[in-house]
Amino acid sequence: MGTIVIEPLTAAAFAPFGQVIETDGAHHYPINNGMTERYHDLARVELGGVHPRPLISLFRGQPYALPLSLKLVERHPLGSQAFYPLSPNPWLVITAEDESGAPVRLRAFAPAPGQGVNIAMNTWHGVLTPLEAESDFLVVDRGGEGNNLEEHHFDAPWTVTR
């Protein structure tokens, strides 16, 4: 297919696909008698369909090597999906725009330590892609009735590289 060059994750670059979850620049205030700082409302959880409910899960991903052969992307038509790493290990976020129901203009982002993402409802994205080491992620997404997964398999894989 082609090559996707990895770029740094920034709120502006990722805005067409969802939100970056990070403390830098976030609205925050002290709670618990000043012993805790609350970073408030960092992402928009989207829940659609019949009887939706938020799910909080832990995902443990096995590492991928670069260059990466990207064979498929997926999207969730009934809810957003947030990923927040529980370690400083590197990982990738791969996204695509939609054109007539197909993923186009793919991009790959390298989050900095302490950055997560909330991928907007019905947005094409790659699977969880940790690099270098097995990594755990806190994931917030949608449960409930209805099919909330659509996969697109490419005829030929894309190559993701630095």
Q: β-pairing, 116-119 with 135-143?
A: unpaired
DSSP 3-state assignment of 95?
strand
Q: What percent of the chain has pLDDT over 90?
A: 99
Q: Are 89 and 114 in contact (CB under 8 A)?
A: no
Find the angle CA(111)-CA(54)-CA(114) to the nearest 5 degrees.
20
Mean pLDDT over 102-109 rounds to: 98
Supply 40's token pair: 């408030």
DSSP 3-state assignment of 100?
coil
Q: Note the maximum CA span of the chain.
A: 57
Mean pLDDT over 114-119 rounds to: 98
Verify cis geometry, omega within 30 degrees of 0, for the bond prior to 30.
no
Question: How far is it, in rounded angstroms, from Cα 123 to Cα 135?
Answer: 23
pLDDT band at 30, cuts 50/70/90?
A: very high
Is the confidence at residue 110, as pLDDT, over 80? yes
Name the CATH code of domain 3-161 (choices 2.60.120.480, 3.20.170.30, 3.40.50.2000, 3.40.630.40). 2.60.120.480
Query: What is the reported pTM?
Result: 0.94
pLDDT tens readout for residues 40-84: 999 999 999 999 999 999 999 999 999 999 999 999 999 999 999
pLDDT tens readout for residues 132-153: 999 999 999 999 999 999 999 9
DSSP secondary structure letters along 32-85: TTTTEEEE---S---B-SSS-EEEEEEEEEPPB-SSEEEEEEEE-TTB-EEEEE
Find the angle CA(120)-CA(15)-CA(113) to the nearest 5 degrees.
90
CA atoms within 13 A on the CB side of 33: 0
